[in-house]
Structure 1
Amino acid sequence: MQEILEEEKKAEKELVVAVAQAEAVAQAKQRAQDKLKEEKRAKEAEAAAKAKAAAKAEQAAQAEKRAQDKLEEERKAKEERIRAAAEARAKAEREARRKLEEIGTSIVAPTFRNPVVETQVEPVNSNAVKPPQPPPKTKSKDSSGKANEPQTGELHGKSKAFSFGIELEFMIPVVHQRNRDGKDIDEVLLPDMNIIPPRPEEDVRKFRDNERAYVRRWVEQKFRDTLLDLGVAVIDKDEKVVNLDPKAEHVSDDQAFWGWDIGDDMSVRHTRAVFAAYKSSRIQWVSLELRSPAYWATPASLGEIRRVVGGLSRRRKLRFITAETAGMHVHVGRGGSEFDLGELKRLAGLCYAAGPLLSQLHPLSRHGNEFSLSNRLYSHAAFGLTMDQSVDIRGSFRMIGLNTPRLGPPTAESRQRPADTPLFQRFIERGGLPRESRKPYFVRQQLKTFSYRNVNFEPDAEDEPRGIVEAINEMWRAPGPIDLVDMCQDSNNRYYAYNFARYARKDATADRDSSSSSSSSSSSSSDGAMEARTVEFRQAAATLDADSVIAWIRIVVNLSCVAVYSRPDEFSRLVHVCAKAEAEPAWYDAFDLLVDIAMPRTAQDIQTQMLSQPRINPWANLPAGAVDRPNQV
């Protein structure tokens, strides 16, 4: 019995052990399954993370690709805009050339009923010649309904095809700091004198020049500092452009020509009376010339000129004085190209005809000035020289064609002279503006230059200038630009009110024969080949009045546009009007000319300045009795 009990206990223990082992196996199996599940979840999480990362990477790649595609599209669009603009400009130039060729053809084969040259305008009937009427002006309106100024500021509609640059001349009085003792310097005559500090020893060792050269360097640097304060690009003393704006539009592709430049001009000097007024010998006068970059003739460019000139008049780092001999020169060109021979003839002819009228706008100090001689009074054409008598600069023979352009009589109906327009109300009577006349001294000087340049020609100093129409017809016989320049001025002298001398170099003769062109190519490198082909308008007086500077730029640009783009009958009519005005000053004057080239507001502004600021404005000095209704100004 005892053995049975022991066996049962043993069996029971074995059963417990077996159950325990079974539970352990089950737990181990469960743990293994849990581990497998965890590993599976980890793998799934890892796979999900990798998928998410891959998705993010794909999104980033797609975003980068979209950005690159957008940049590429923008680049292509920009290139397309540039190409389209270039094509449009080229098309416009081709169209303008085609029209000019048509005009030139119509001039060479005259369409006038009577192509015979008029050598004299008969002043029989004051209504015999009709000045060309300006086109009707349209004005935009703002929200208040008031008329606004034209956005172009009376610039010609085709002025963007022209480029311009200005030169302003000044005198700057300075005195050394050690000499400012208050006794010898007249503080009343020269307030705010420019004080020159003592010359540093370093400057003496570096430059090894005299005191006067140091003063000029000091003044020029002060001038540059003033320009830099205005935020414009300036050519520094090392011939480098500083403060450059790469986004600005310039005529030249060379950045070396994008800045305002400062130089010397020995022609600027005071009169003896001024030197006598400033009694101190310790005052040194420094002459400067400020030269702008070349700009396209647009309202934005005029705004830049206004900003610089107006800024100079407000910022007083230096005291400026515009001497009587100081001038304002405006260069007008065709950008990177040049005027062709037909355009040049028309521009030279209009400047020759309108010059006496435009001189009425300038003060008497600019009349008969040796640095702005009248083309109408002192040129070869004025003295009666003909193309048959003229000898080429190179000494070669020239063939004058029989079928040359001629300026016939006006074909339009005779009408009354222009009445005052709503935009121009006259206060200065016609005939009241000063007229420029010949000075015997300059006549004798010009006659001296003829003997070695021309044959069979002996003018008399007492002779009156040849008629305007006759002289222009003689100019138009010129077979090339050198001959034209020799007629409308003197190709050896650039000091004319309308200076065409840059077209007198031998590399300006592309339309000549092969022998002349070969000789010209050899001289281009030594005769300023990089110099722009421009026509220089030199007669205006120097000024720091921004309105006056802008007005004169507009006048010369519009005059150039009228010369190049007007129809042959319009051009002929305007020349005959100028010729009649010379014979009858009380019939037509400079203000009428400005109205006729669509600049009535400019005419009004200049007239107002003449009447309101006679002592400081750069316009004409009015003689007594010239004003009609001064109380209405």
Structure 2
Amino acid sequence: MATPGTRKALSLTFGVEVELLMPWLFIDQKDPHEHIEGLPPVFRVDRARVKRNVYGTDDPVYAAAEIIFSDLRDTLEGLGLASSLAESHLQDDGYSAMVLEGYQDWEIEDDGSLHQQESLGYEEKYPDYGLIQQWVSLEIQSPAEYATPEAFEAIKYALQVLTQKYRMRVNDTCSVHVHVGQGIERLPLDMIRRIAGLSWAADLLLFTLQNPLRRANVYCQPIREYSNMAKGIEAEPAHAGGAGSNPITWDCLRYLGTDVRHGEEPIAWREENRKKETIEAFEKTRQPFHFEPFIQGDDSSSSPQSSTVSQSSSSRRSNKSNGIISLQDGTLNQRGSSSDLEEAAFLRAGLMASPPQRDSSYRHESARTRECPKMALPRYTATELQELVGRVCSRTGLRVYSAIPARAEEDIGVFEGVRQIFDAPSSCCVSRLLSDGEARGSINFNNYNCRAINNNVQQKRTVEFRMGEGCLDDWVGTWAAICVGFVRFAMYAPVDEYLNVLTRCDLAAKQDGSYDVLDLLDDLCLFEEAEIAEKRVLQHSKDWDVKFAG
């Protein structure tokens, strides 16, 4: 743990979850596709090994799955792609080890949400079980890793090795999920607000890099259309209604889910220091007209700075807002820094004003020549959306896709959504705005809901991008780089650049040909990824029914 009052710069980290299906055959079964040139061999299972399995089941499908999973783990371990993030914390305390547990190595898990409708010849009548479908559905999880170009290449390399050695496939039930965070640390409120604001603005644009059938998938519904905020549902966070039959001390609103001021320890320190007196001392620094950081030894007495302003002065002024960026009732709080006030003013003004133009060292122009015309943002009617649902249902055979919940009746727009996000007093409140009950949206903030923040054994500290379609090629690594770059821009871009992108995303929803996802990637300085994405869009434009403007 760092010395109180000091903070180390934190690097972004990421991990991917790749869902797929694998066929298998017993050794004595004939391969129905052995004549196809270039197809990797099907996985073979020894009948005797299934019968004497040590996996606690006599079900041949489950036993075969465990044999396959074990073989995949051995292959991935043999690649030597160890997590440098895990290695950097080898000498840390037990807390770091607890957070990273389960995310240090490549892992294989069963995924019951996947389905192969037809056997395609991978089936057999098995004694006591009848006809068995010889497919396993699984999820390959990469270890948590620092977000470097080498790490993205490692993802591509691992998938290349696996797809050359094993027969694998994806279908419409499969997905690629990307988790982005800061290692063992939780993202503080100011960063969650920025990421959530950009996610709200760009959600539907990012979908245009995927097969449009993803819009009909119940496991990645667009937050712009299905979240509580989109539908105008004022759902209270869990901390507002008590803990029910399982009491929990709710520290998210007042302590764990709030901002981190300059000079303060990160959220992980607060997770380890949750005594009542520590939290009360922290709360004093969040009273009106207190601007000092909370600096304190591990659960010891508060620093003298915590009582700089008298309690009587605080109580006399308690009717005034304590938010840095408050647009409540259309009034602008005058207590923030100039950049905060500038940001608030433009959030309030929406498209009525343009952010100030000034030199910025962040901005770089792309040197590439764009070949793809501007894409129109799809605007599906209820009938068109139901047609997509029907296509997914017919192609997968899963009734879970036969209907999806009602979406928002109308779009509240980029800046109204961003206003609500920046007015949220804690990370759990942001999570609640962008969730839909327990469902996980296209960009998922559930790792920052009340229960996740307050749970000491909750390990994930990530924002999850769930709209990626099933894929086994190099696009997985590119998509991971896009998600990381998206978060990096949201967290660190200058205010004027951030607001410019919000404004352009807002315009994209109103005027075809004004701005599309390739423009967005250029604005995020993801030039290499933009070039790859452009080729992907052109390659799939017919199958995806891409509409070009102009």
TM value normalised by structure 1: 0.58
Per-residue CA deviations over 1:178-212 (Å, capped at 9, x if unaligned) read: 4x246xx4656887332322133772577343111
| 1:623 and 2:545 correspond | yes
The aligned runs of 1:35-434 (5 Å cut-off) are: 93=9, 161-178=11-28, 180-181=29-30, 185=32, 192-200=41-49, 203-204=52-53, 207-233=56-82, 248-249=87-88, 253-254=96-97, 256=101, 257-270=103-116, 272=117, 275=118, 283-314=133-164, 316=165, 318-385=166-233, 389-396=234-241, 404=326, 406=344, 407-408=347-348, 409=350, 410-412=353-355, 423-431=367-375
Paired residues of 1:368 and 1:374 also in contact (CA < 8 A): no
Equivalents in 2 of 1:205, 1:292: separation in Å? Answer: 26
Q: Secondary structure at the match of 1:200?
A: helix
Equivalents in 2 of 1:337, 1:624: separation in Å? Answer: 40
Per-residue CA deviations over 1:566-601 (Å, capped at 9, x if unaligned) read: 233322221121011011132110000001111122
Q: Structure 1 residues 573, 232: CA separation in 2 closer, same or farther (over 3 Å shift)?
A: closer
Paired residues of 1:427 and 1:627 also in contact (CA < 8 A): no
Output the amino acid matched with 2:459: E
Deviation at 1:362, TM superposition (A): 0.8
Deviation at 1:321, TM superposition (A): 0.6
Equivalents in 1 of 2:530, 2:355: separation in Å? Answer: 25
Paired residues of 1:333 and 1:339 also in contact (CA < 8 A): yes
The aligned runs of 1:435-446 (5 Å cut-off) are: 439=385, 446=405
Q: Secondary structure at the match of 2:197?
A: helix
Q: Which residue of 2 aligns with 1:605?
A: 532
Paired residues of 2:23 and 2:43 also in contact (CA < 8 A): yes
| 1:463 and 2:409 correspond | yes
Equivalents in 2 of 1:470, 1:247: separation in Å? Answer: 40
Q: Secondary structure at the match of 2:225?
A: helix
Q: Structure 1 residues 611, 502: CA separation in 2 closer, same or farther (over 3 Å shift)?
A: same
Q: Which residue of 1 aligns with 2:299?
A: none
Equivalents in 2 of 1:384, 1:206: separation in Å? Answer: 48
Paired residues of 2:21 and 2:169 also in contact (CA < 8 A): yes
Deviation at 1:289, TM superposition (A): 0.7
Equivalents in 2 of 1:297, 1:624: separation in Å? Answer: 31
Per-residue CA deviations over 1:101-138 (Å, capped at 9, x if unaligned) read: xxxxxxxxxxxxxxxxxxxxxxxxxxxxxxxxxxxxxx
Equivalents in 2 of 1:177, 1:533: separation in Å? Answer: 43
Q: Which residue of 2 aligns with 1:499?
A: 444
| 1:581 and 2:429 correspond | no
Stretches of structure 2 lacking an aligned partner (at least 5 in a row): 124-130, 243-252, 254-318, 328-343, 359-363, 390-400
Q: Secondary structure at the match of 1:161?
A: coil
Q: Structure 1 residues 277, 585: CA separation in 2 closer, same or farther (over 3 Å shift)?
A: farther
Output the amino acid matched with 1:503: Y
| 1:553 and 2:497 correspond | no
Per-residue CA deviations over 1:349-403 (Å, capped at 9, x if unaligned) read: 1101111111111112322211111011111111123xxx433324449999585
Paired residues of 2:194 and 2:491 also in contact (CA < 8 A): yes
Equivalents in 2 of 1:433, 1:426: separation in Å? Answer: 18
Equivalents in 2 of 1:219, 1:578: separation in Å? Answer: 45
Deviation at 1:550, TM superposition (A): 2.2
Q: Structure 1 residues 435, 325: CA separation in 2 closer, same or farther (over 3 Å shift)?
A: farther
Deviation at 1:248, TM superposition (A): 4.6
Stretches of structure 1 lacking an aligned partner (at least 5 in a row): 1-82, 94-159, 234-243, 448-460, 509-519, 629-633
Equivalents in 1 of 2:542, 2:432: separation in Å? Answer: 30
Q: Structure 1 residues 204, 360: CA separation in 2 closer, same or farther (over 3 Å shift)?
A: closer
Equivalents in 2 of 1:608, 1:551: separation in Å? Answer: 12
Deviation at 1:246, TM superposition (A): 11
Equivalents in 2 of 1:535, 1:289: separation in Å? Answer: 18
Q: Secondary structure at the match of 2:52?
A: helix
| 1:485 and 2:334 correspond | no
Equivalents in 1 of 2:537, 2:201: separation in Å? Answer: 24
Deviation at 1:537, TM superposition (A): 0.7
Paired residues of 2:110 and 2:137 also in contact (CA < 8 A): yes
Q: Secondary structure at the match of 1:591?
A: helix
Equivalents in 1 of 2:74, 2:480: separation in Å? Answer: 26
Output the amino acid matched with 2:431: V
Paired residues of 1:359 and 1:435 also in contact (CA < 8 A): no
Paired residues of 1:356 and 1:435 also in contact (CA < 8 A): no
Per-residue CA deviations over 1:129-165 (Å, capped at 9, x if unaligned) read: xxxxxxxxxxxxxxxxxxxxxxxxxxxxxxx621111
Q: Structure 1 residues 627, 170: CA separation in 2 closer, same or farther (over 3 Å shift)?
A: farther
How many residue pairs get matched? 415
Q: Structure 1 residues 500, 605: CA separation in 2 closer, same or farther (over 3 Å shift)?
A: same
Equivalents in 2 of 1:554, 1:209: separation in Å? Answer: 42
Paired residues of 1:491 and 1:501 also in contact (CA < 8 A): no
Paired residues of 1:559 and 1:597 also in contact (CA < 8 A): yes
Output the amino acid matched with 1:485: S
Equivalents in 2 of 1:377, 1:299: separation in Å? Answer: 33
Deviation at 1:283, TM superposition (A): 4.4
Deviation at 1:90, TM superposition (A): 5.1
Q: Structure 1 residues 538, 91: CA separation in 2 closer, same or farther (over 3 Å shift)?
A: same
Q: Which residue of 1 aligns with 2:492?
A: 565
Paired residues of 1:433 and 1:623 also in contact (CA < 8 A): no
Equivalents in 2 of 1:193, 1:393: separation in Å? Answer: 48
Per-residue CA deviations over 1:502-522 (Å, capped at 9, x if unaligned) read: 1003362xxxxxxxxxxx4xx
Deviation at 1:536, TM superposition (A): 0.5
In our comparison, the structure showing a higher alpha carbon Rg is: 1
Deviation at 1:434, TM superposition (A): 5.2
Equivalents in 1 of 2:431, 2:85: separation in Å? Answer: 37
Equivalents in 2 of 1:620, 1:499: separation in Å? Answer: 30
Q: Structure 1 residues 245, 568: CA separation in 2 closer, same or farther (over 3 Å shift)?
A: closer
| 1:542 and 2:470 correspond | yes
Per-residue CA deviations over 1:66-85 (Å, capped at 9, x if unaligned) read: xxxxxxxxxxxxxxxxx9xx
Q: Which residue of 2 aligns with 1:450?
A: none
Deviation at 1:487, TM superposition (A): 0.8
Identity over the aligned pairs, expressed in percent? 25
